[in-house]
Each structure stands twice: as C-alpha cells, then as structure tokens.
Structure 1
Amino acid sequence: MTGQAPTGGVPDLFRGLFDDAAVFPPGDLPLALAVPAHRTHRASWYADAVGPFLCGAARLDELPYLAGGPLRVGLVLPGGSTSLSAALKAVAAFEPEGPESAGVELAGVELGGVGTAVADVRAAVAALDAQLPPDVPAAVELPRGPGLEDALDILAGTPYRAKFRTGGLSPEAFPDEAELAAFLTGCAERAVPYKCTAGLHHAVRHTDPATGFEHHGFLNVLLAALAAHRDGREGAVLALRERSGGILAGAASALTASQSWLIRSSFTAFGTCSIAEPLEDLAGLGLLTPPAPPPHLEDR
C-alpha cells in the first residue's frame, strides 16, 4: 500500500504536492522571511513533499539579495503571456555571485490572465511554445465559467498543465463540488494534468469557522482525481463531498501503486501559503509519520 511510508518518509502520493506560496494571500509572508523558511522546509525530513518556491515576476529583483544558495522558483505571471519574455530574461540574468548567493533555478512557469476563449488559450500555448526553455514545465490558469471545456480542448495534447483556482478571499472564489468535479473529469477525459491553487491547505473538506467558507480538502481532491478517471463526474463529486477524515485516510491508505501514479500524473501539485498545516493534517490522519527525535544524551 502506498498510503503509508517508513517512519520519517514521504509516501509517493504526497511527494512534491505542496508548492510553497507563502508570499501570496492570505499568508503574505515577506520575502525576507519566506525564503529562509522555504530553505528550512527543503532541508527537513519532509522535503520530498515540498515543491518549488512560488514568486511573482514583480518580486524577482529582491531574490538575489537573499543568501543561501540557488533557489528553485516557480514563476507566477498574473499578466499572462504578455509578461513571459521579460520575466524569462530577468531569471536568466540572475547569475550567482558565489556559493552563498541566491541565484534562481527556474522550476516552472504559471500563466494567469488567460481567458477561456479559444483564441486566448491558443495565444498562451503559442507563447509558451516559442519562449519557454526546454524541460521547464508550465501551467495555464483557466478562469471558471463558460468556455472551460473549449479551453481544455486546446491544452489537450500540449505539454502544459491546466491551473484551476479552488479558493480565495471571498465565498465566490470557491467552486462547489459539481464545478470542481466537472473540471477534474474534463481533464481526465483529455489526459490534461493540472494543479490547483488557493483554499486547499487542509486535508479534509470543512467549513472555516472564522469565515463560513466551504473549503475543499486536498485529500478529497486527490481521491476525486482517481474517481474522475474511474467513475466519472458523479464519483468525483462524492469524493469531494466526503467530510470524514477517517474514511478519506482509509481510502488513501488502500491505494495501489498504479492508482497513486494515476492520481499524481493528473493532480500534480497545489499552491499553499502554509507548508506546516498540510503536514500536520496528514500526520493527524496517520498518513505521514515524522521521524523519532534523537535520544537525549542522558538517555544513552
């Protein structure tokens, strides 16, 4: 079973799942704090669960002044492909000045500001085809609403992922189960991989007691990704609706290696402003086991 891992290990189901979006709302952590925190995550026992550090192009100039060695950065471009060329040139200009200077290793590009009209998505794909360096992954954020199916048709057969927003700072920013299931199923039908962003930093579906917003759980979405392939839209809706952590954890623990592979080849990552909270949830559900602390000298 792949839901579990040896003590201190990260199961395949969660490897690289958590992109570090600490500098984005609602976290809004200053870069001077967010970058050292990311380096700590990358040096910790759970490092295999942590994806790249997400950063907007407007803040790239601040990175070279933060020491600690090269930084794997996922470049987020809210302005879409119109800002792609300048952002790629800015990244290429960051040559490390020494072993402790930051430098920037481009781990991926995420284009926002793309409409669901066929022409908008075609333009984004064309810009990525023409400008993106080889072997750099990219995602195209697709707005919710009419036109999503046509947008997915354009992404199908390209090397690029779809990006879908699953939350935000208002209740309208959260798609309901039917809408999210339609997206997951549309991607499954076209073999389009995807990442999600916002609102997923807890494992299990819940109502936020402070805001009253309905949050999807990332464990729900992982299992819904499999259901979208196996059972279609109705199965995905059922997985998204589940509120029992025990039921979800049991289902995750029972996944086969091939099922876990299918899930993660579809649902590749999500951006979270907290790395600690998803890990704490997984540990609480028995799906992740931190290593035992070293014995104290007096206990030896």
Structure 2
Amino acid sequence: MSAPVSTGVIPELFRGLFDDAAVFPPGNLPVAEAVPAHRVHRTAWYAEAVGPLLCGAGRLGELAAVPPTSGAVGGAQEAGATPLRVGLVLPGGSAELAPALAAAAPFELAGVELATRDAAEAVAELDRLLPPHVPAAVELPRELLRGDGLDAVLDVLVDSPYRAKFRTGGLVAEAFPDEDELAAFLTGCALRGLPYKCTAGLHNAVRHTDPETGFEHHGFLNVLLAARETDRAAAAAVLAERDGEVLAKAARSLTDRQVTVIRNSFTAFGTCSIAEPLGDLAALGLLSSPDPLPQEDR
C-alpha cells in the first residue's frame, strides 16, 4: 500500500486523527470488506487524516487471508508491494502480546494498544517484547482511573515511552464517561505532558445525544479543543459544548503553536466510520473537499 500523498487539504489539526476501526462494533465491517475500503482511504485525497487499520489479535488470520489487489497486500508481502499498516488491539492483556507480535509479522505494525489492569506490568512487557520503533498505548478499565487511581496510572505511564488510552464510549450508556470524568483524564495527561488516544463513540465532531439510543456522545472536536486545557472545570466546559459553530470558530482561531500542543496530546482516536467525521468537518466549514467524500463505511 502506497503512502498517502500530501494534498495540502487536511488541516494539521486533523492529520492522522482517524484510526480506522471499521471491523469493531458498532460498525462490524467484515475484514474482507474493511481491507479494500481502507486501501481506498489511504490513497484518497483525505488520506492524511487516516491512521492505520485497527485489528484485534484474534482476527489477524482473516487479515492475512485477504488477497492482494492493485499492488497492495492484505497478508504476506509480494515483491514490490507495501504491507498493510496495522494497529494491533489487544484486549486480553500482556499474555496476548508475544503471539500477536509474531502473527503480525506480515504487516507493517503501526502500533499496539494493550488493555490491562496493571499499568506497571504492561509497561514492563512492552519494554521486553515491543520492537523499539513501534509505538504503544496502554488502556486501563475506567473504574481503575477514578480518584487516586488515575494519578497512579498516569504517573506510571509518564515515565514510559507509551501513550495512555481512554475509552470514550461503547454499546451501553455506562460505557460513556461524563464530561467531568473525561476532563479529569485529559487534564491529568496535559499536566504531565502525557500523550493519549481515545476510542469508541467519537465519530461525530460535536457533543450530542444519539436519537436512536439516547446515549450521550462526546464530540471529537470538543476533545481536541479540551486537550489544551490544564484546568478540569475548563476542560469539562469545552466537552459540554453542543454548538458546532462555537466549536468551529474556536478551532479556526487556534494558533499553530496551540495546534501542535493539542496534537502532541490527543494523537488519534479509533472510529468505525471514516466518512462521518470527514462529513462533519466539511459541514462545519473546517474541511474543503476537492472530491466527493467517501461513502458511508459502516
């Protein structure tokens, strides 16, 4: 798969922001469909906004079985072809790390996301097994990040080369943190200079209530703007904003330095749709599309 060609149309604030989680809920796109769709994303005019294809360890065999097309490969590398960039998601903890790294050998490993209940143990295993050029993020259950638990985990990670990962949604209402809980995480990371990624529930730009489920969704634009805050109340206020025009105006007023600070903090999020976040940015006037936006990929 060829590297994305710079078109200059993706603002720095959104470059590499959308990791392709098409195979995960609620999208659940079959791997055989997700791979060619991802190849299209990575060669389209908006390619600079798109991160790697995220895949769980248990589905790497499916990924390797997707036949190569147009000089790109799904599995084993062909002569002259570039391997698929894959972000490895390991919900089963450190025990999955060694076998998953071996199974991911045919791909270009763009990163590892390791869920754990013990941050120090996860860091030690990543130090021991992860190739030095591969970045990683460590995710702990939200119940362990409340109260003093949050500071303890972030203090472990800030002394490591790894990012934090925070879950911002899911398939039940309880999977969505409120503004104050998310603000505690964001400002805790900001005060330490600790980068992080998010996952789940962020495919729309602006905070909203889903009309079908009633779930309260954070907006990724809210999170981007809150990422520069070190005051918890101020961050929570940004996360609570539901007026897209207010958020868009704030995004347009950011200086280059502020954009750098934000993206050094909030590095990416997993989204099962690439079309929706791009469409939201275009609707808010934050993205000009020289060609049609992608079709819905969920």
In the superposition, the TM-score normalised over structure 2's length comes to: 0.88
1:142 Cα deviation after fit: 1.8
Match of 1:121 in 2: 119
Query: Which shows bigger deviation, 58-67 or 181-190?
Result: 58-67
1:273 Cα deviation after fit: 0.2
2:232 is the alignment partner of 1:243: no
Amino acid at match of 1:63: L
Match of 1:86 in 2: 99
Work out the CA distance in 2 between the residues paired with 1:283 and 1:129.
41
Q: State the identity %.
A: 70
Tell me which structure has the larger Cα radius of gyration. Answer: 1
| Aligned partner of residue 28 in structure 2, secondary structure | coil
Q: Is the 8 A contact 1:8 1:45 kept in 2?
A: no
1:207 Cα deviation after fit: 0.4
Aligned residues: CA RMSD? 1.4
Work out the CA distance in 2 between the residues paired with 1:279 and 1:210.
22
1:292 Cα deviation after fit: 5.3
Match of 1:284 in 2: 283
**Residues 284 and 151 of structure 1, relative CA distance in 2, 3 Å threshold:** same
Alignment of 1:175-190 (within 5 A): 175-190=177-192
Match of 2:295 in 1: none
Q: Which runs of 4+ in 1 moved over 2 A?
A: none
Match of 1:30 in 2: 30
**Residues 8 and 133 of structure 1, relative CA distance in 2, 3 Å threshold:** closer
CA deviation map 1:4-33 (0-9, x unaligned):
xx9970000000000000000000000010
Work out the CA distance in 2 between the residues paired with 1:223 and 1:196.
14
Query: Which shows bigger deviation, 196-205 or 184-193?
Result: 184-193
CA deviation map 1:257-297 (0-9, x unaligned):
0100000000000000000000000000000000157xxxx
Match of 1:173 in 2: 175
1:227 Cα deviation after fit: 2.0
**Residues 7 and 283 of structure 1, relative CA distance in 2, 3 Å threshold:** farther
Match of 1:3 in 2: none
Work out the CA distance in 2 between the residues paired with 1:30 and 1:133.
29
Work out the CA distance in 2 between the residues paired with 1:292 and 1:76.
32
Q: Is the 8 A contact 1:227 1:236 kept in 2?
A: yes
Which has the bigger relative contact order, CA under 8 A and spacing at least 6? Answer: 1
Q: Among residues 103, 108, 120, which one is paired with 1:105 in the alignment?
A: 108
1:65 Cα deviation after fit: 2.2
Alignment of 1:146-161 (within 5 A): 146=146, 147-161=149-163
Work out the CA distance in 2 between the residues paired with 1:292 and 1:125.
43
1:223 Cα deviation after fit: 0.2
Work out the CA distance in 2 between the residues paired with 1:7 and 1:63.
29
**Residues 8 and 285 of structure 1, relative CA distance in 2, 3 Å threshold:** farther
